[in-house]
Amino acid sequence: MIRPVLPRAAQPAMAASKMLRHYAFCLPLALAACSPADSEGGTGNAPVFPAADRPVSALGATAFADEDLRDSRQEAATVMQLAGVRAGMSVADIGAGEGYYTVRLAEAVGAQGRVLAQDIDRGALLRLGDRVETERLDNVSITGGSPDDPHLPAGSFDRIFLIHMYHEVGDPYAFLWNLHPALRPGGQLVVVDVDRSPDRHGIPPQLLFCELGQVGYRLVEFIRHPALAGYYAQFEAMAERPEPEDIRPCAMASNRSGPSDGAGGRAPAPQ
C-alpha cells in the first residue's frame, strides 16, 4: 500500500457519467455522513502514530485468485455466514481489488443494503467500476483511500471486511485508528488472513490480536477454516479509541509474554 489513488468521495470530473454513481459514495448510500470519519478534525496538528514493528508485505495481485476456485471451496459464502451478513446491511470491502467479495456482498445485502468497495489501486477500481456497471449492481459504490486512512464516513457500517490485505497495510495503527469511527454501534470488523510472516503475505494471529487491541478493538471470534486457506477473525470496536500517543507497537517475537488474545492464546507484548 504505497499511495492514495482517488479522493475521499465522488470523482465529478470522471468523463464517463455512467461511472459517477459508483464513485459518488454519499449519494447512493445515503449514510449518516458524507464526510470521512473524524481524524482529529482534519485540521491543525496531525496525530502521530507508531511505526509497525514488523515487516510489511508488498502489494499483491488485485485479482487474488481464480474466483471459480474460491467459490468451489465456499470461501465468500463461509465468510459472510460467519460474519452474519444479511439483507439490508451496510458493509465495506476494504482492499476490494477487482471485486470478488464486493459482488457477492452486494447480492447478500440485497437492494435495501449498501456496499462500499474501497482500494488504493486506481486501475483495480476502474476495472471494478466496469464490472459493477456490467452486472448492474446498483447497491455498490466505489471510492479510493490512502494507505493510512480508508476515508470512511463515521457511524456508517455494520461490517467492514479486510480480506487478505491487512498484512499489506504499511501504517496499521494509523489505518485502524482512522477506520474505528466508521463502525456503527454493534458493528464488526472482519479480518481474513494467513498465519505466516507479513513478508510472506500473511500475519500471525497473535500479532493481529495485539495490533488491533492497541487501537481499541476487541476480539469476538477466531476460527481456522479450510475454506479460507487461512483464518477468520472478528472484532468489535470499543467505545473509545486510544489517543495516538498511547498506542504501543506490538512485536513479532514469539518468546515474549503478553496480554491474552481472547482466543485461548497469548498475544505479543507491546514494547
Model confidence over 133-152: pLDDT tens digits? 999 999 999 999 999 999 99
Judge whether residue 91 has pLDDT over 60. Answer: yes
Lowest mean pLDDT among 124-128, 208-212, 229-233, 257-261: 257-261
In this prediction, residue 142 carries a pLDDT of 97
| Helices 100-109 and 75-83, axial angle in degrees (round to 10) | 50
C-alpha span between 214 and 39 (Å, rounded): 17
Q: Write out pLDDT tens, residues 28-54.
A: 443 333 444 444 444 457 899 999 988
Q: Above 90 in pLDDT, residue 55?
A: no
pTM over 0.95: no
Q: State pLDDT tens for residues 177-207.
A: 999 999 999 999 999 999 999 888 899 999 9
How far apart are the C-alpha atoms of 70 and 223, rounded to whole Å? 18
Quick: pLDDT tens for 217-231: 999 999 999 999 899
Report residue 60's pLDDT band, with 50, 70 and 90 as the boundaries.
Answer: low
What are the domain boundaries of the chain? 59-246
Residue 229 near residue 87, CB atoms below 8 Å:
no
Report residue 163 as a C-alpha cell.
480480506
C-alpha distance from residue 65 to each of 4, 71, 100 (Å):
24, 10, 9
Mean pLDDT of 120-124: 92
Q: Which helix (H) or strand (E) holds 22?
A: helix 20-23
Going across the sheet that includes 140-144, the strands are 140-144, 114-119, 90-94, 157-163, 183-193, 230-237, 217-225
Rounded mean pLDDT, 229-256: 88
59-246 CATH fold: Rossmann fold (3.40.50)
Instruction: Give the burial class of 41: count Cβ atoms within 10 A of its Cβ; 0-12 exposed, 13-18 middle, 19 or more buried.
Output: exposed
Output the pLDDT for position 65.
58
